[in-house]
Chain A
Amino acid sequence: MISCSQCGTQNRDGSKFCNNCGTRLAPGALGLPRQPAAPQGVPGTSQEASIPEWLQSQSAVSNNESAALARPEENAQDVDSSAQEEYEMPDWLARLRAASPEEEPRTPSGDSANPGDSPNVSGPGNVPNWIKNLRDQEPAEPPVGPAAEEPDWLRQLRANATEQSPSPQAQWVTPSSPEGDGASSEDETVTADWLAANMPSQEASQAELSVPAFSVSADSGGIDASNLSDWCQDAQAPTAPSEQPAGEQVAESAATLEEPEPEQTESSGLGEPSGFGESSGFEQFFTEATDETFERSAFGEPSEVGTAASATAEQLEGLPTADLPDWLRAAMPTQGRGGLPGTGEPAVEQPSPGEIPTWIKALKPVELQVKAGRQEKPETSGPLEGLRGVIPLALAVTEPHSPPRMPSPNWHTGAGPLFDAILAEPREETTPRSSRRVRPVWTMRPIIYLLLALAVIIPLLVPPGLTAQVLSTPSASEFHNTLRAVPPNSTVLISFDYEPSLAGEMDLQANAIVRDLLARQVKIIAVSTIETGPQMAQNILVKAATGKNLRYGSEFLNLGFLPGHEAGLAQLAVELPAKDMLNQKLTNYPLTVNMKNLSGVALVVELAGSEDALRMWMEQVQARTRLRIAAGVSAAVEPKARVYRDAGQLVAILSGLTGAANYELLSNQPGLAVTSLNAQNAGTLVLLFIILLGNVMHWVSRARVGDRPVGTGHLPATEGQAQPPVETGPLPAAKARSGVGGREG
């Protein structure tokens, strides 16, 4: 039983950790000497008293490991005993053991005495199945014999491999340890499996012959320790301690006391030899390195390599050279350089793949590597079996379809210097705002305002009798005649559909029409589709009825606001609203007591200040009721109203202030419209004069700048004139400033 130093719990022998608190147990409890066979002078051993507790535990484990390495027999027994004592083995370790039931027990002979031997890979059971198959296909007695029986090219290959400078790794991997002589040849073979390509010694060639599957890779000569990648070198590193003598390993284990490495101690603290877990990693690396060797062999053809791997050197030598593929002929350096035997070909100096450094190979474009690999891949079935590169369409299909790289635009290449040039430009000296004199821009706008004001005001000051006679226009006469055609006591519906902003123009028409109709005893019903319309209508009606003994509801009536726009007008075409503007029922008024709809209306006068109002009346009322509608419109709406008049939808139109003045004169009641008409005509003349003057000045200035180069004047280039080429792209103005391309000067 092992007593835990932390909690005092009694644990079973062989336990590494306390079952209660998990503290690592003292190494002395394992029954191993606390300081086994540690050489004198090992750091840490003499200073044990000053080592902290956690470091002592680490030291104990390391010492335990060292002891196990020094006495593998005892260690193995301890491990077995611990396994029998239901040691709490991790799952992964249990699976690992379960996966290798055929693992041969370590022999207690000198094989296991050599710490460099990896027990898990020493047996033939560790050889993969495919290697076994290869061995089965081999001749019964592989010619492992003296060098005289070897072919010349193999000796040359070995000689070339020997000439290569051995790397430091090759030195330690060489079985030159004191116990190396005692190692079995089988172990050496296994060790050289993955090192065969790097081993320049005689053992490498023996390993090649004993394991032909790797001899091909070794023959390629392209793999040595110096050419191995970093990861491969790292993978080799764990095997290094196993190659070292036990004494050196103990020294190193003791040296780890200064630098505790929990991972290493944990791996060694499993009660297994240190090489156990590493041997598993070695086995994995062995398999991976084998596949990697095949795939990265200088031949670049795994299938052919596999085929060649099944042949021994003698078989290769015995084959007719004419039947050998090119890659195999190239792989025979001896014959290749001196000419194939029997062919009489001259010696061709071919560089071996090993002469190309790895970093240069890495510079090869990936596309070329992939393409080369695909081109060399032969057909494996069909009539083209054995041929390669006969179906380029497959390459076109299987090649990655990446879009071609577009060259960078030219401006991008000069963007850097351009940016520097912009930054290098001196800043413009900004003058203080106070010292800068703001130059007033002279325009004719005040003169225009003054001319218009005078043109409008002066006619208003002139008495009406001094003005000329206003000529009647055909449209106004037509409109007047239309209203004159309405018999007395008839009803006319007038819609006041204009905003107050147009009252200065439209009120004159409304006043003239209402006065004339009321004077001829025509009854008026007012309505409006605008919220502000009813009140303006009411003002005009009341003003016209004042002093004429006209009553609301008998001679005139205001229906008020008609909401809903189109819907309201469509409803009005069907029936009249129930109430008027004063919220009284229409049945209460004599004018509308018997009126249900617009059928009793003789004429509709639409006073439209906008096109929409007129359009709604045309679409919703005129199209439904076929009523006779005359429109008094603003001068701005007259062109649109003329369309309806020409189509016959309007019986007459009265346009603007001019129409109102004409109507006043035609109805023999001149008023404000006639007075305002003179002012309007004067203002129109002034406006016409200003427009003509502006056009003349424009043409004169254009004629002056006609001889100047384009772009120098204040007028832009017009159609037909030559224009400078417009430079597109980023920063054209900046280019022009810095002189980088674009226009010069």
Chain B
Amino acid sequence: MSGDIIGVSIGAVLTLLVFSYLLKDTPLFRVAQSIFVGVTIGYATTVAVYLVLVPRLIEPLATDPLTNWIDVLPLILGLVLLLKARTAWSAAGNISVAFLFGVGGALAIGGALGGLLIPQIRATLLSLSPFQNLGTLLNSALLIFGTIGTLLAFRFTSGARRPAARALETAATGWGYVGRWFMLVAFGAIFAGTAVSRISLLVSRMYFLLHDWLQVVP
């Protein structure tokens, strides 16, 4: 219990130190910030050592190296990567960097195609058939109209001479203007969600101070 009180008290003090930033950038805030950064890095390092390196690399090689001989490769790549710290030897670390960038790039590109681009294109191929539900029809029509309008908002060409082309250009410009408002609504939604999220964090901190530390809230 005493341990909880100390921990809660430290957390409450650090919370107040962070709130001091509302007045101005005080040294108290800097202290709390440094503590958080240090704790985060220390904890991440500890996790990387005790949950990644030791159980997944060191122990397999130490206990059964013949079976886990393939783990020598990441070990070598990891050690070579440390040579990046010295300028004269940094070229040797390029192998590890190239491996990381190559694997990361391949995964990112492949994942973007299969997990983002193709599904999103498929999602916009909506049906505007009047035989479906009216709400679905309106939703699909609105989604298509907004998507095309957003794309037309980034259209910067002009100078059509023929009347038909000029009329089409005028329509595209107006449609793009509406698409710009679609984007503004989307940005407003993102801002509202962020604001609500931060208010939730404020509530959580207030509840911690009033309930856990001061215990004035049941």
Chain B residues near A140 (CB, 8 Å)? none
B binding-site residues for A, Cβ under 8 Å: 22, 40, 43-44, 47-48, 50-52, 54-56, 103-104, 107-108, 111-112, 114-116, 119-120, 122-123, 143, 186, 189-190, 193-197, 199-207, 210-211, 216-218
* B189 touching A531, Cβ below 8 Å: no
* B51 touching A649, Cβ below 8 Å: no
Chain A residues near B206 (CB, 8 Å)? 453, 456-457, 460, 679
Chain B residues near A623 (CB, 8 Å)? 111, 114-115, 119
* A680 touching B199, Cβ below 8 Å: yes
The answer to whether residues A679 and B203 also contact, given A619-B111, A684-B196 and a CB cut-off of 8 A, is: yes
Contact with B along A433-457 (1 / 0, CB 8 A): 0000000000000000100110011
B135 CB to nearest chain A CB (Å): 13
B155 CB to nearest chain A CB (Å): 21
Closest to B54 in A: A583
The answer to whether residues A570 and B107 also contact, given A457-B206, A637-B193 and a CB cut-off of 8 A, is: yes
A binding-site residues for B, Cβ under 8 Å: 449, 452-453, 456-457, 460-461, 463, 501-505, 507, 531-532, 534, 560-561, 563, 565-567, 570, 578-579, 581, 583, 615-616, 618-620, 622-624, 634-639, 643-644, 646-649, 655-658, 672, 675-676, 679-680, 683-684, 687
* B210 touching A647, Cβ below 8 Å: no
* B210 touching A460, Cβ below 8 Å: yes
Point out the residue from A449, A639, A676 that lies within 8 Å of B193, measured CB to CB: A639
* A566 touching B199, Cβ below 8 Å: no
B69 CB to nearest chain A CB (Å): 16
* B199 touching A531, Cβ below 8 Å: no
* A639 touching B190, Cβ below 8 Å: yes
* A505 touching B200, Cβ below 8 Å: yes
| Apart from A457-B206, A460-B217, A505-B200, 16 more pairs, CB < 8 Å | A453-B206, A456-B199, A507-B204, A531-B43, A531-B48, A532-B43, A534-B51, A561-B52, A566-B108, A637-B193, A639-B190, A655-B193, A656-B197, A657-B196, A676-B204, A684-B199
Closest to B210 in A: A460
Closest to A507 in B: B204
B112 CB to nearest chain A CB (Å): 6
How far, in angstroms, from A578 to B52 measured CA to CA in the complex?
11
Chain B residues near A635 (CB, 8 Å)? 193-194, 196-197, 200
A692 CB to nearest chain B CB (Å): 13
B141 CB to nearest chain A CB (Å): 14
Chain A residues near B199 (CB, 8 Å)? 452, 456, 680, 683-684, 687
* B114 touching A619, Cβ below 8 Å: yes
The answer to whether residues A676 and B47 also contact, given A460-B210, A567-B107, A649-B115 and a CB cut-off of 8 A, is: no
The answer to whether residues A620 and B202 also contact, given A567-B103, A635-B197, A639-B186 and a CB cut-off of 8 A, is: no
How far, in angstroms, from A637 to B43 measured CA to CA in the complex?
26
Closest to A464 in B: B218
Point out the residue from B103, B120, B194, B197 that lies within 8 Å of A647, measured CB to CB: B120
Chain A residues near B52 (CB, 8 Å)? 561, 563
The answer to whether residues A636 and B51 also contact, given A532-B40, A649-B119 and a CB cut-off of 8 A, is: no
How far, in angstroms, from A531 to B52 measured CA to CA in the complex?
10
* A636 touching B115, Cβ below 8 Å: no
A467 CB to nearest chain B CB (Å): 13
Chain B residues near A583 (CB, 8 Å)? 50-51, 54-55
How far, in angstroms, from A579 to B40 measured CA to CA in the complex?
24
* B116 touching A534, Cβ below 8 Å: no
How far, in angstroms, from A451 to B61 measured CA to CA in the complex?
60
Chain B residues near A460 (CB, 8 Å)? 203, 206-207, 210-211, 217
What are 18 A-B pairs at a CB distance below 8 A? A456-B206, A531-B48, A563-B52, A570-B107, A570-B111, A634-B193, A635-B196, A643-B120, A644-B119, A646-B143, A647-B119, A647-B122, A656-B196, A657-B196, A683-B199, A683-B202, A684-B196, A687-B195
Chain A residues near B186 (CB, 8 Å)? 639
How far, in angstroms, from A620 to B108 measured CA to CA in the complex?
8
* A561 touching B190, Cβ below 8 Å: no
Chain B residues near A461 (CB, 8 Å)? 210, 216-217
Q: Is the interface of A mostly helix, strand, loop or mixed?
A: helix
* B207 touching A648, Cβ below 8 Å: no
* B22 touching A449, Cβ below 8 Å: yes
A147 CB to nearest chain B CB (Å): 91
Point out the residue from B55, B112, B114, B197 that lies within 8 Å of A634, measured CB to CB: B197
Chain A residues near B196 (CB, 8 Å)? 635-636, 656-658, 680, 684
* A646 touching B123, Cβ below 8 Å: yes
How far, in angstroms, from A624 to B211 measured CA to CA in the complex?
45
* A579 touching B193, Cβ below 8 Å: no
* A657 touching B200, Cβ below 8 Å: yes
A507 CB to nearest chain B CB (Å): 8
* A503 touching B189, Cβ below 8 Å: no
Chain B residues near A566 (CB, 8 Å)? 104, 107-108, 111
How far, in angstroms, from A647 to B44 measured CA to CA in the complex?
35
Chain A residues near B201 (CB, 8 Å)? 501-502, 504-505
* B116 touching A648, Cβ below 8 Å: no
* B115 touching A534, Cβ below 8 Å: no
* B210 touching A457, Cβ below 8 Å: yes
* B115 touching A639, Cβ below 8 Å: no
* B51 touching A619, Cβ below 8 Å: no
Point out the residue from B103, B111, B120, B194 that lies within 8 Å of A636, measured CB to CB: B194
A613 CB to nearest chain B CB (Å): 13
Chain A residues near B51 (CB, 8 Å)? 534, 560-561, 581, 583
* A504 touching B200, Cβ below 8 Å: yes
Closest to A675 in B: B207
Most buried by B among A565, A643, A648, A683: A683
How far, in angstroms, from A687 to B54 measured CA to CA in the complex?
49
5 tightest A-B CB contacts, nearest first? A504-B204, A619-B111, A619-B115, A623-B115, A647-B123
How far, in angstroms, from A649 to B120 measured CA to CA in the complex?
9
Chain B residues near A578 (CB, 8 Å)? 56
The answer to whether residues A648 and B108 also contact, given A637-B193, A684-B199 and a CB cut-off of 8 A, is: no
Point out the residue from A560, A561, A619, A657 that lies within 8 Å of B116, measured CB to CB: A619
* A456 touching B203, Cβ below 8 Å: yes
How far, in angstroms, from A410 to B211 measured CA to CA in the complex?
74
Chain A residues near B210 (CB, 8 Å)? 457, 460-461
How far, in angstroms, from A315 to B205 measured CA to CA in the complex?
121
The answer to whether residues A639 and B43 also contact, given A566-B111, A646-B123 and a CB cut-off of 8 A, is: no
How far, in angstroms, from A434 to B210 measured CA to CA in the complex?
44
Chain B residues near A687 (CB, 8 Å)? 195, 199
Chain B residues near A616 (CB, 8 Å)? 111
* A622 touching B193, Cβ below 8 Å: no
Chain B residues near A639 (CB, 8 Å)? 186, 189-190, 193
How far, in angstroms, from A534 to B50 measured CA to CA in the complex?
13
A649 CB to nearest chain B CB (Å): 6
Chain A residues near B193 (CB, 8 Å)? 634-639, 655-656
How far, in angstroms, from A11 to B56 measured CA to CA in the complex?
100
Chain B residues near A646 (CB, 8 Å)? 123, 143
How far, in angstroms, from A618 to B112 measured CA to CA in the complex?
9
How far, in angstroms, from A507 to B210 measured CA to CA in the complex?
18
How far, in angstroms, from A144 to B211 measured CA to CA in the complex?
136
Chain A residues near B216 (CB, 8 Å)? 461
The answer to whether residues A618 and B116 also contact, given A531-B48, A639-B189, A672-B207 and a CB cut-off of 8 A, is: yes
The answer to whether residues A563 and B48 also contact, given A579-B56, A643-B120 and a CB cut-off of 8 A, is: yes
A695 CB to nearest chain B CB (Å): 13
Closest to A462 in B: B217
A137 CB to nearest chain B CB (Å): 79
Point out the residue from B55, B114, B119, B200 that lies within 8 Å of A680, measured CB to CB: B200
* B203 touching A676, Cβ below 8 Å: yes
Chain A residues near B123 (CB, 8 Å)? 646-648
Closest to B216 in A: A461
How far, in angstroms, from A456 to B196 measured CA to CA in the complex?
12
B142 CB to nearest chain A CB (Å): 12
Chain B residues near A676 (CB, 8 Å)? 200, 203-204, 207
Chain A residues near B43 (CB, 8 Å)? 531-532
